Structure formats: structure tokens, C-alpha cells
Structure 1
Amino acid sequence: MGVVSAAGVGAANLWAAAKSGGSCIRELKLARPYTGRIKIAAQVPEFDPARYIEAALLPYCDPFTQFSIVAADEAVAQAGFAGKDIGGPRTAVVIGTGIGGATTIDETSYGEYAEGKRPDTLSVPRLIPSAAPTTLGMRYGAKGPTFALASACSSATQAIGEAFEMLRAGRADRAIAGGAEACVTNGGMRAWEALRVLTPDLCRPFSAKRNGMTLGEGAAVFVLETLESAQARGATPLCELAGYGTTSDAFDPLRADVDGPARCMRLALESAGLEPSAVDYLNAHGTATYANDITESEAMRVVFGDRPPPVSSTKPIHGHALGASGGLELSVTINALREQLAPPTINFLEPDPKCPVDAIPNAARKMRIRVALSNSFAFGGINATLAVRAL
């Protein structure tokens, strides 16, 4: 796996922040003056794409594609591949994104309407959501199924899940899959402010007195491989991706429902051949908005009964990176599995009776984790859950 996040470049940096409870949410920094109310975000710090990406490729890359490349390069190297060794007709690429080239869209629109500038020739190749997967496909010579998947905040989780299903169905032997987002722009911040879901201070999932989320950005990319393919080349997997579930609420554009997320978790468990009692830890969607945390808590109790497994939301660490969030959270979940350490839900004040879950408040917890779930639930009622199992 590879990660670019508000903790910096590298999956290890994100895990270090998550397990220590170190928030990476900082003062908002934008290229143009911003007069909005919310002054914080979880932005990638001091990111210089020229350090990681060749000069000839950079003009084609919006920041969301840049993040994808850096994360994928880390994942491919960790998996033991050099360059295009990972590619070929049996390698798929699936990258989820909520928006795609948000920075290019924002800058092009500002240039047109405020400054009368003609758009850059490469604006369209940069802004299309498929820019990330096709760029990765060319980078690694991957000629199997290649596409972008856009399902708002479930994008990365669905992308990984759909890649998993392709391998399970025999359509590919390996896949490069994950999510990327670079949505912290002037227009993006204004739009999310208008929804009234952003906190001006601290993100507090499942806690009393929670008042919203913090916008984030980044990418997380994984190399998925069939066991047979990994064994044939002597690779050592991080864990087993055991199951995947996805559902639609078909209920409301913004409000979540209990049934859809509950069915989603159950489908992931069925896909993995697991009973609910087998789950030791759950990385929640946990946005820290008032209604969503209540709904997710209720869905967990539908699936697990009166005692759901311990849960944490790591969004106060890395922000809500929309289409990348599920990938960032899967990375954290895998490291929790490998270190037998559940990360905390930081900024927790006191339990909310309407969220009767063990939210692992404020401090990491050493515990046995053999099976873990990672949830992503999106606007429009698109739900996705992944199940991972220790080897």
C-alpha cells in the first residue's frame, strides 16, 4: 500500500499519526485569499510534485493525479515490483475519486470568469476523473480493465472492492486500486460550507457536542493480487482482503438510512464467509456530523447486536478526504491488524447516548485483531464495506 495524506507522504506517516492520536488538521492555506468562515483543513503539507514525478508528465497531472502517482509508486515498490513489471493484460487499475481534477476546475473557472484568461490546453486531460487510473495504467504498463469510479465518499472503498471482485472472478491476476482527492480549493471550501457540515474547530466523531467534519485530501493506493500470483513470485502479503459489500439506500440525496449500511456490512461478512462475532475492530465512516454518527451506530447495532466491536473514526487525524477517505482508512485498518493496535477516536469529550458504541476514545488500545471492517457511506446513499483478515 502507498499513501499521501495530511500526515505527509507514506503509509507509515499516516499510521504514526493515527495510532498516536496526532491530528494533521491545520490552518487553511490556499493560493488565493479566502474569506469563508471555516479556516482549517487537512491538506498535504509541503507537497512538491517535482520531487516525485518527472517533468514531462507533470503538465498532465492535476494534484489528485499527482497524489495517485506518488501513492501508487510506494505501493508498487512495497509489493516488490520494478516499473512496468507489474503490468500486462492481467493487471487492472481502478481509482475512485469524488470529484477528480477539482484544482484544475477551480483555477480554470477563476481564470475564465474573474481574469478573462483562456483555459490551458491540457485542462481537460487534467480534470477528468479517469486521468488518475489511465496515467497509472501507462506508468506501469497495466492493460487490463482500467477505469475511474465516482461514488462520492465511498469511491475508494468501492474501487478497491470492485477490483477485489475482478480478481475473485478471474478477470485479472492483480490490480492497482484505491482513491484520490484534491478538493481543498476556494470553490470547494465554499460549497462544503454551504452544506453546514464543517466544524470550525475540532472533529469529534461519536462524541457528545460534535459539530461536523473537516475537509481533507490525499490518496491511498493498494496492490491487490491473487494468492496464487503472490505465491508464484514469493511475495509476502500485508493481509487478506477477505470480503466486500456494497448497497444503495435509495432513500435521500443527503440523509443516511440505517438499512443500507447494515445490509452493506452484512454483505461484506457474507462475502468473507464470516459471522458478525468474528469482527474484532471496525474503522467507522464516522464523519462527526450529528445525524450520520447516530445512523451508523444504529446500523452497527442491527448487524452486531447490543455490543458492536470497538470502533474508531480516524477522520479527526486525516480529515474527510471524500473519494480518498476509504483508502486512507483501509491503510490505517490494515496497520491496526498488523500491529494489533486499534487507533483512537480523538477529540472525544463524552459519550452520546444516541451513539451507543465503544469509540476507543482518545487513546489507542492494544487488542487482539484478527478480522476488521472498514466502512464508507456516501451522499446519495452509496455504501461500501471491506473486510480484512490477518494472515
Structure 2
Amino acid sequence: MDLLPKNDIHRKIIHLDMDAFYASVEMRDNPELKNKALVIAHDPREYNGHGVIATANYLARQYGINSAMPAIEAVRKIPKDKLVFVTPNFDKYRHVSAQVHEIMHAVTDQVESVALDEAYMDVTNNKLGNFSAIELGCYMQERIYKELHLGASFGVSYNKFLAKMGSEYAKPFGRSVILPQEAVAFLADQPIKKFPGVGKKTQGTFKELGLQTGRDLQQLSVKKLTSLFGKFGYQLALHAHGIDFSPVKAQRKRKSIGRENTYLPVLFDQNEILRNLRNFAEVISKQLKEKKLQGKVVTIKVRTPDFVTKTKRQTLPKFTSDEQVIYQASYELLRQVDYQTAGIRLLGISVSQLESIRYAEINLGLFSTDW
């Protein structure tokens, strides 16, 4: 009999997925769209039948419309008086996505973004204290709803695969928890086509082999699945038994936030130089606060017309995002640089040794559980 590797159930993973994200943003910004079958795509009637659907709201999905379908399908399936196309506005969606990710990073920096509208989070250790993964998921879900007026669903489990299965299980505005002792039974009842990573081509192969549910996979040996599907078969065997060792791959932390400018003609006037320093400090302070960051090292960079670059840095007594503190430190550093004779061709400030602002003593006001 095949031996599966020993499972790892010690982690607490959240998969958070925005509900019909692009469509929800458009309905929030234009309430008149809420009772329409909204499709985010170029209107194929204006593009010679061309276009692909980015997403659709839940009313449009009732007509069988989903993302990645040809947009012309919406014209064929949805009554004309109900159908509305909205051209995607990805700049807006990226902006809202950044706001959602700020809320995630208030909980943990172990965030792996999959797309603008979804991410995995490892909350085995988190920033907020001794809260369960369920409480943390509810905290984020409710903040997103109250602050951004958008819906999100989340799944909680001990690995990424199951957390993703959970977030998809109860959409929209869903909350799902898959405990270690429930995982195998839960997966047994799930259609294989709902397993993340199983595409349409593979679904056809499963159908030919008479494999429909997780239970069917659980009854096959690892050797058999591997012989049928290679490496993917081995992964299927693990997933069917609730095993997934893949880590949450957090994006690298930003090392510094700065601002600089090149001047032609070069700067000599002291008041103008200080005015630029103050503007830089104001912009950096604003960016730090927006990203919920603070820094401890201020660096000034000065380049003269002969392209000689000089840098000075100061370590502050404590972390800060305060504009005045950043400006004062940069002013003191500027006084240590000899630039009066040649003038300044480039001037810049940066703040480094960054850390996230911690949210102490937050009362989430939710139920308590180990998960």
C-alpha cells in the first residue's frame, strides 16, 4: 500500500477572495448597476463581436456567464433590458486592491498575493495578538465591508489548498473553516473540478476515467494516480487527502521609501533647497502612513554638477513616520555636506529600516475558537 507523507496541521492559513471584485467596485461606485446583469468587458457589439469577460456580477452569473468567457456569450444569454457592459478600469481596481491589502497587512506581513482580488495569509503568528484565524478572517471581512463597501469571502484551514477550497465553498460573503479532522471527509464530497489547479482539459480526462469526486481519488493509490498524471497525479493524491506543504510566499518587504529630483539649473539658494527638503519629507511621510509603515534611518543624497554624489544618514532614536522629524533629520544631514560652491544637481531623501505599525490591544469582538 502506498504511504502518504505525514501531514502538517500546525499552520493557520487564510485565503481571502473578493466577491466578483471588478463588478462589485463598479456597482459600489454606480448604484444604478446593482439591479443589472453587469459584465466587465468591452461591449462586443461595438468591437465586431470580440472581447473577453474579466468578471461578472452574481445576477449575470445566474445566466451562466463567468470570467474568461467570450463577451458575445453575454449578449446571447442575457436579456437586453438586463445586460450592461462596463469597460474594465484596472487603475481603479489596483487602487482598491491596495486598500484591501493594507487591511491584510494590518494582520500579518505573511501575505501572498495571487491576483488583485485574492491572497493567502499565514496567520500562525500575527500582529494583533492571541486571536483565532476565524476571528482574524472576520475582522478583515468586516473592515473591507465597512471601510470599502465591498464583499469578501474567506476560508480557514491548515494549508493553502484547503483554505482556497473553503473560500470558494460559501461565496459570496462566505466564512468557511476546514478543520484537520474534517478535511478528508469534506474533500471526499467535493467534485474534482473544484480542486484548485484542475483545468477543463484535465476534467475531460477524469470524466473518461469515471473519476468525479475527491472520494474517487482517495480510493486510488498514489502509484496509480502518478502513472496516470505524472507529477500532477502525485499532487492530486496529496490534495485528496488534505495534504499540501506549499508555504505562503510573502512578497519581499520594501526596504526604503524616498523622493529625489534633478535640477537644471542647479540649486544654490538655501531657501529653495530647504523648501524642496520639506516637500520631500511631506511626500515620504504621507506614503509611510498610507502603507502603515514607519522608519528609523533617514538618508540624504546630494549630487553636484561634476557628478560627485554624497550621502549622509542618521539613525533616529525611535521609529517614525512624522513629517517634521524626517525634515529635521534631513536638514541636519544637509548641513554636513559641502555643496555651497558647486551647487546641487540632485537632491533626495529616503527613510529606511522600515517596520509595520503595530495595532496593539485590538478587540475584535468576535467568537473565540482555537481556529
**Which band: TM-score by shorter chain?**
under 0.3
TM-score, length-scaled by structure 2 = 0.21
TM-score, length-scaled by structure 1 = 0.20
